[in-house]
Amino acid sequence: MSSSHLSIFPSHKLSHLSSHSSLSSLSSFLPSPLAPTTPRPSTTIHCSLRDLRDRIDSVKNTQKITEAMKLVAAAKVRRAQEAVVSSRPFSETLVEVLYNINTQLQTDDIDVPLTKVRPVRKLALVVVTGDRGLCGGFNNAVLKKAESRIAEIKVLGLDFIVISVGKKGNSYFLRRPYIPVDRFLDLGNLPTTKDAQAIADDVFSLFVSEEVDKVELLYTKFVSLVKSDPVIHTLLPLSPKGEICDINGVCVDAAEDELFRLTTKEGKLTVERETVRTPTPAFSPILQFEQDPVQILDALLPLYLNSQILRALQESLASELAARMSAMSSATDNAIELKKNLSIAYNRQRQAKITGEILEIVAGAEALT
């Protein structure tokens, strides 16, 4: 490989890596998972040995940063998954109770506002994004899905309103005033029931007051460490069986999870996969309710909404962390490759310089003889 045609990043990108206080320069190392990888253009190196040494040191420091961020994200993914699994028994038992109560209400012919399907004239779309970047195309995939759904709603001739959750989504919709937004909500490092309750109260009031006729929830469903799918589920009106359904009415069974455990193998960090299915106790058919079913339903429905929204926030966080771990892993690999190429260029230039000095000494000695 010739030293004059070495495939590396352009020099104007590498110059930003000397500052450790700004992580924005890491974006030059991050490949977009949504676009096919294309070979980088060849760039001729025109710099001194000192500049090459500085660049190599800068890339080494960047590699340390990306590797540390990868390990932090990997540790947080496990905790986020455990939060999803630990909350599932409560959610599924609540669904069983709602199904039993809805069966009684249907036989008694009692009108329940949250389960009543109305002709849709206005729709509310809850969009859940992340709070930070450096996670590949995670946020872009959610926002593109939101734009696609908004375009479909406009084609149907329906009014709509957006509830934005997450700093990235908030900044995106703030720059687009033509999209009506009801509320902007920020999340912390870990979603809590308080965060889910704020969203549930907002959609609850919008639906009950008949300001909107349907509420949809757009979030990123965690599939695996390398795959996350933006999905849209119908939040309101509720399914008669208390299940989670998508916009086409197909109900989703999410009782099985693929968990990931961090281990070390031959001195390197590896990830082991295991499939976990959370058992749900069967609901007793002889169980009777002392209170009026309508009163029980009024008490359980807010809990149901809160649990489903909290689950969506937790899955979105797990997807964001997995995307960040994958992006930082790719950035680390790119940094290693770039450091290797720069080292080769440095060694060749140093060797050429030494060879030139030797030739000058030999030529001078021959001139004296």
Please list the active-site residues: 135
DSSP letters for 219-257: EEEEEETTEEEEEEEEEESPPTT---EETTS-B----EE
Tokens (6 digits) for 217? 């929830």
Give the count of beta carbons closer than 10 Å to the beta carbon of residue 266.
5
* Contacting residues for 213 by C-beta, under 8 A, at least 6 apart: 118, 119, 120, 121, 122, 123, 207
Is the backbone peptide bond immediately before 237 cis, with ω within 30 degrees of 0?
yes
CA separation, residue 128 to residues 24, 34, 139, 196, 235 (Å):
23, 19, 9, 11, 13
For residue 219, with 0-12 CB atoms within 10 Å meaning exposed, 13-18 middle and 19 or more buried, which class applies? buried
Hey, CA dihedral for 188, 192, 196, 201, is it positive or negative? negative
DSSP codes joined into one string, 250-262? -B----EEEEEEE
